[in-house]
Structure 1
Amino acid sequence: MTASLLLACACAPAFAAGRVDLTALNDATITASPRFIVKYRNGSVEQLKLTERQRSLDLAVSRTKTKMGATSQTIAGHAFKAVTVRGTANGSHVIRANKRLTRAEAQALMNEIAANPNVESVKVDAMMQAAALPNDPALATHQIWHYGTGAGGARVTSAWDSGATGAGVVVAVLDTGATAHTDLAGNLLPGYDFITDMLVSGRGEDGRAAGGWDTGDWTTAGECGAGSAARNSSWHGTHVSGTIAETTNNGVGGAGVAPDAKIVPVRVLGHCGGYLSDINDAIVWAAGGHIDGVPDNTTPAEVINMSLGGVHACQVETQSAINQAVSLGATIVVAAGNSNTDVSSHSPANCANVVTIGASGSMGQRAGYSNYGIGVDLAAPGGAGSEGVPNGYVWSTHNKGTTTPVANPEGDRIVGMGGTSMASPHVAGVVALMQSVAPQVLTPVQVEDLLVSTARPFPAKPDRPIGSGIVDAEAAVNAARNWGKPVEGIALTAGVATALPSLTSPQSVIYKISVPAGATRLELLTYGGRGGNLAMSTQYEAEPTPSKNLGTSARPGTNQIITINAPAFGTYYVKVVGNSQTAVTGALIRATVR
């Protein structure tokens, strides 16, 4: 950093401190027209009047050019300008510069915009990226390892055997859009292209467009920042959509987890990625919320899949969009990311109210690229790569085009890809299966509880934590099918030990104990026996779940204890779960009421 740059930064007015968010600053150097999200104070002239907002931006640009002139070879003397692109759902404004900026130039511009006392915050309109690790295409169907009952499988085939197909459920896929693949097109509903920048969309003009079709996201060398490589179109959204709802049992291609579900393709990723402000609006729209300038989604999604992300904190606007979508009933499933680091640094996987998915390989191990940490809810097959073809990759719909799509059927193919992008749609598909069999629509919290509590343990403890286990479609569907029904529990007699059945994960048994009025203490204990591990939880007048319980115990072994002081008069339900692949036999349970 040069002395001049230090001076420029140091000269920013003191009242701008704390209002400039630089966490995604590198993203401002990716495109030829970087964008920023500016929040003006409610009722200020800059918020209400375009002319006043532009005057303020012109002053900020002028000061930036003056301060950066000595160190910048690109903005000095250039017809540099910043203009308003549009407003956002939360009242902010998207501001676009008309040229590529260096990191220092972007920071200087943000500081000068924030120098206006009517500006509450300035942040980069971050670029989100697809969370996949593409592999050379393969023209074969090799899906059984990730759909079957093997060590790494999601047990989707067993869920199909129970009659679950996802019928009647809509899943929105926020991604690169979708191509008209013959084995996918029949399950596509009308979508929308939310990309507002023509350099990212490739449409030749700014603004959004109906359809949600993937027209390609290829790039040329240097297009996405200095030193960036050229690459072919990924057809990432088509691959993700196929994992969720590729047509099945038709003798063509492969299968989707929820073959009778419908997909709303929402294009938010294009050339070089996608802007966070566009993605935030798309989240709200997909769930049925209103976005100015876009026709309302007539088929709101019960499930939203986002196999995308960026390295930064969860921004307020993103959390607000997620919260709104969840309030409308959408379960949001998000890829944890492929950086082999703690998920806390990867958004939107680090946001609240989402189901965050890590990736596992064909042997049930953590895929070496998968992000990890306590923020990951559970894992799903993503492919580890090391197992080779076919077991190293997840197989789904794709296109033969290197830039723009090749029309079907000539352009159709099945390709193996790997990443948490491939893990997330497995779970989104399982959610569709769950909702299709549930006696009443499950809330997002209920869905997450059931996914986490029914996940099967990893065959071996992962080298890093990636959630409660591997998604188990069969167990999740069975739990959803019985949700809301009266709880059936085996009655315990206070002070009398009862033999537990043999339990292997994810097997469980529910007991109940009646507590009289005036009781001062309830003790629940499992003990004895041999084999693997048990876990126990309890809830008052309801079946315990991971998010709704009065106590849990999951220590190694069979000895678990929960104590409730001053218990209420009524019935407590106790759930005992096999917590390992090794069966527990001969254990006992006892409830003591004092």
Structure 2
Amino acid sequence: MRIKLACLSVIAVSVLGACGGGTGSSIAPQSTVKVQNSASQLKSTAKAAANEIPAGYASRTSVSGILEDGQYDRFIVYYRKSNLLKGSSNDTAAAASNNSRVASARGISIQERSITGTRGHVIQTSKGMSASEAQAFMVEYLKNPDVEYIEPDLIVHPALVPNDAQYGQQWGMSGEATGISLPAAWDKATGKGVVVAVVDTGITEHSDLAGQVLPGYNFISNATFDRNRSGRSADASDPGDWLQIGDSCPASGGPYYVHDSTWHGTHVAGIIAAKTNNGVGVAGTAFNSKILPARALGRCGGFTSDINDAIVWASGGSVPGVPDNPNPAKVINLSISGNGQCSKTNQDAIDIARSNGAIIVQAAGNDSIDASQTYSTPACQGIIVVGATNSSGNRAWFSNFGSLVNVMAPGDTILSTVNAGAKGPEGEGYGYMSGTSQATPHAAGVVALLLEQQPSSTVDQIRSYLASTATSMSDRCPEGCGAGLINADKALASLPLPVDGDLPVTGEVNVKADAANGATYKVPALDNLQLLRLDVSAASKARIRSQFDQTWTDCRIGDFGVYNCMVWDPKPGFYYVNIVSSNGTDADVNVRPYINGGHVKYGETVELTSKAPYFLPIVVNLDPVSATEAPYHTIAIHNRVYVMVTQYSGGGRLFEFGGAELYNENMWGSGGSYGGAWMLIGPYGSEDPYGTGEGQAKPTDNAPIFLILDLGSDDGKEVKATYTAKKAPR
């Protein structure tokens, strides 16, 4: 696959240019096209070729990304004897023999170019083939049972509150409605210690990136793509990707149009790690991270094999003929796009990077269509796919969308570092670009912030942190914008704290805690809870916070010195409770979650069910009553039921009707007894645990009322009660 930049336009100093497009095969003398003097197109009109692969070979190849009018001369062949995680030469003889056989059968010459980091053999033919001829060529290879898989080596293209002078023009940095809340996030993390690889066009010198860039590598294997430099080398600098009349590029990658150099890799790098709070230029999303440039895109784009070797190398993997990377990246930014489904080479490279602990952040593409229709890498497993938003907080008009998109980030008219040269490098500057290319480094930078705090996080965990804290766009993006616009500050706040242990869903436990800093425990919050309550005794202090919020709330001290930690309408997930022991060694915690039984109107009858395995109490919400009325309830039980009436007082604290004297004054029941904070309705201890009970409560003010029903189970089965709410005179 040939890779393209996922960006739309660039304004560098006073230079206006555009990013190229198209897909196809490698350059060869018989299969090139000349650059045209015309404006760049944003959407490809090329049509996918018909699938001509016989059914018996279909599982060992893919025609995804092959275009009807394309020309193909470069392929990647995998042999069954190879080692997936390391380029292997134990199949070299078999490969040479098979190349000779196929060359004779097809009447062409075949040259082996390299072995990739995913152990694929990159071959090139002496002439370009049509879509139909290319498929027949691949079938000829597959006639050898030692060939595990073959695919075309397609081309892809590039797909963009400190005191920095131009920070005010970086609309996507701050705010929550349209930006990603970075200023607050920078109080928690800045990306320190995290290496972010930028697989792109390389990088140019820039004062706002001075000291931010590590030694990289140039993975472009075709000298024509690389302005006739000598091929792969340790020089990851960007010589420019301009196209002019007379230049030649692969026929299947066209059409190509005249344009100035984009300096795309430098722009992406600045979004991630531009020096910040230095009084000049722009601010980077993760300004204390380091950039690892891996140049894999040139003036005609870049081959799949080169891109994926860059991914493997950047993550710390081995690539034949390339020195090992001494600075493995924890984040890999792919601001690129191309046609076709996720290829074997793509997925193998991603799997190797994941096994090395790297997280890949990928652009969704700029065709304003469902990303699953024409785009390749987003369909791969184990990555984070990013769409683009505009300064109004909506999906940018160009951004791809759909089920493959995980999150969104700012990508329209984004200011960052560039070079002033129209062709080769001349001097530094700042410019605007638009595209999912620009959204992706915003997200990659936030991933770097998260990894500074939680270095061992997996891609699934990071994706969850981003998605669970994103600002939803479902009301203005019905076509699908993933979880919505990322929020750096909330994502950092959602990171799990180091804990001393886990508390049960419900029940009483003894926990260890000291008298100085105490101990922190994690307690789960189930779905559909009305109240999560923890009663902590033998403590001198207790506080609670959600996984989604870094703000601690002190628990209220109640009767007998017990701390009551109460969270109404808790979000599903988990909460942290920090306990300081009064005796310096331990404390007792009683976890008491309550199910939301919904709102019941007076005169209405509902059936309530307490289900296994926890049989949690159910909270029924009642409307306030006047000073002359009291809620009156009738309960038909299928097991014994304990009842408590509670409400918020004017000061907002929870007040429970409890204790013998208080019950005598404010509540009574028939067919039962009372004790402590609960009123028992029904035949306690009876062999026939069925019956009815009535009770009345007199609330202290005109506030919302919560009736709590504890449907205890003696036999481990579901317990039901039919509840009727009434009002009666006091």
Counterparts of 1:589 and 1:236 in 2: how far apart (Å)?
62
**Are 2:180 and 1:154 equivalent residues in the alignment?**
yes
What is the CA distance between 1:437 and its match in structure 2? 3.3
- Please tell me whether residue 41 in structure 1 is matched to residue 80 in structure 2: yes
Residues 513-549 of structure 1 show CA distances to partners (whole Å, capped at 9, x for unaligned) of xxxxxxxxxxxx988xxxxxxx94246999xxxxxxx
Of 187, 197, 202, the match for 2:212: 187
What is the CA–CA distance in structure 2 between the aligned matches of 1:477 and 1:432, rounded to whole Å?
11
Q: Aligned AA for 1:39?
A: Y
User: Please, which runs of 5 or more residues in structure 1 have no aligned partner?
Assistant: 1-8, 66-79, 133-138, 384-392, 512-524, 528-534, 543-552, 558-562, 571-584
Alignment of 1:552-571 (within 5 A): 566-567=612-613
- The answer to whether 1:372 aligns with 2:398 is no
CA distance in 1, matches of 2:279, 2:421: 24
1:341-356 matches, within 5 Å, as 341-345=369-373, 346-356=375-385
Opposite residue 420 of structure 1, the aligned amino acid is T
Letter paired with 1:88: T
Structure 1 residues 106 and 455 mapped into 2: Cα distance closer, same or farther (>3 Å)?
A: same
Structure 1: how far apart are the matches of 2:552 and 2:74? 54
Secondary structure in structure 2 of the residue aligned to 1:456: coil
> What is the deviation of 1:426?
0.4
Quick one: distance in 1 between partners of 2:94 and 2:346?
Answer: 27
Q: Is the contact between residue 127 and residue 273 of structure 1 (CA under 8 Å) also seen in structure 2?
A: yes
CA distance in 1, matches of 2:707, 2:200: 49
Q: What is the aligned counterpart of 1:446 among 437, 458, 461?
A: 461
Correspondence 1:537 to 2:572: yes
Using the TM superposition, give the Cα deviation of residue 488 of structure 1 relative to its aligned residue in structure 2, in angstroms: 5.5
- Residue 103 of structure 2 corresponds to 61
2:432 partner SS: strand
User: Which string of whole-angstrom CA distances, capped at 9 and with x for unpartnered residues, describes residues 241-288 of structure 1?
Assistant: 100001111222111111111000011111221111222222122111
Deviation at 1:215, TM superposition (A): 1.9
Q: Is 1:109 aligned to 2:129, yes or no?
A: no
Residue equivalent to 1:205: 230
- Residues 1:188 and 1:484: Cα distance change in structure 2 (over 3 Å): farther
| Secondary structure in structure 1 of the residue aligned to 2:294 | strand
* Residue in 1 that maps onto 2:415: 395
Contact 1:37 1:95 in 2 (8 A): yes
SS in 2 for 1:250: coil
The equivalent position to 1:416 in structure 2, one of 432, 439, 447, is 432
Instruction: Tell me which residue corresponds to 1:360.
Output: 389
Q: Is the 8 A contact 1:173 1:265 kept in 2?
A: yes
Which runs of structure 2 are paired with 1:552-591 in the superposition (5 Å)?
566-567=612-613
Correspondence 1:465 to 2:480: yes
- Between Structure 1 and Structure 2, the one with more helix by share is 1
Structural mapping, 1:48-127, within 5 Å? 48=90, 50=92, 53-65=95-107, 80-127=108-155
Q: Deviation digits for residues 42-87 of structure 1, max 9, x if unmatched?
A: 289x98565663453344234334xxxxxxxxxxxxxx52211112
What are the equivalent positions in structure 2 for 1:148-297 lying under 5 Å apart? 148-149=174-175, 151-160=177-186, 162-206=187-231, 208-220=232-244, 223-225=249-251, 227-297=255-325
In the TM superposition, residue 152 of structure 1 has moved relative to its aligned partner by 1.3
CA distance in 2, matches of 1:538, 1:564: 21
Per-residue Cα deviation, 1:335-359 (whole angstroms, up to 9, x for no partner):
1111222222422112111111111
Count of paired positions:
493
1:76 is aligned to: none
Q: Counterpart in 2 of 1:455?
A: 470
Aligned-pair distance for 1:324? 2.0
8 Å contact 2:219–2:306 — kept in the other structure? Answer: yes
Question: Are the structure 2 counterparts of residues 294 and 366 from structure 1 closer, same or farther at C-alpha, using a change threshold of 3 Å?
Answer: same
Is residue 52–residue 132 contact of structure 2 (8 Å, CA) maintained in 1? no
Change (3 A) 1:159 1:15: closer
Would the aligned equivalents of 1:356 and 1:375 in 2 still touch at CA under 8 Å?
A: yes
Structure 2 counterpart of 1:451, which letter? Answer: L
Structure 1 residues 467 and 588, CA gap change in structure 2 (3 angstroms): farther
Distance 1:189 1:591, change over 3 A: farther
Q: In 2 relative to 1, CA 442–397 (structure 1 residues): closer, same or farther, beyond 3 Å?
A: same
Per-residue deviation, 1:13: 8.4
Is contact 2:522–2:574 with CA below 8 Å preserved after alignment?
no
Alignment CA distance shift 1:381-1:414 (3 Å): same
Cα shift at 1:164: 2.2
- Which residue type is aligned with residue 215 of structure 1? P
Question: Which runs of structure 2 are paired with 1:128-139 in the superposition (5 Å)?
Answer: 128-131=156-159
Cα distance in structure 2, aligned partners of 1:568 and 1:202: 68
Report the CA distance between 1:566 and its aligned residue.
4.3
Decide whether aligned partners of structure 1 residues 484 and 22 sit closer, same or farther in structure 2, where only a CA change above 3 A counts. Answer: farther
What secondary structure does 1:120 align onto? strand
Structure 2: 5+ residue stretches without partners:
1-49, 501-519, 534-544, 554-566, 578-594, 600-608, 617-702, 713-730
- Matching of residues 448-527 of structure 1 within 5 Å: 448-458=463-473, 460-480=475-495, 482=497, 486-487=520-521
Higher strand share: 2
Cα distance in 2 for residues equivalent to 1:428 and 1:441: 16
Residue 577 (structure 1) aligns with = none
C-alpha distance in 2 between matches for 1:480 and 1:289: 28
SS in 1 for 2:123: strand
Counterpart secondary structure, 2:102: helix
Change (3 A) 1:59 1:204: farther
Distance in 2 (CA, whole Å) between partners of 1:102 and 1:215 is: 32
Q: Which structure would you say has the larger Rg?
A: 2
Task: Call closer, same or farther: CA 1:116–1:588 in 2, change over 3 Å.
Answer: farther
Instruction: Give how far 1:363 is off.
Output: 1.0
Q: Which residue of 2 aligns with 1:4?
A: none
- In structure 2, do the counterparts of structure 1 residues 118 and 326 end up closer, same or farther at CA, with 3 Å as the change threshold? closer
Q: 1:301 maps to which residue? A: 329
TM-score by length of 2: 0.60
Paired residue secondary structure (1:401): coil
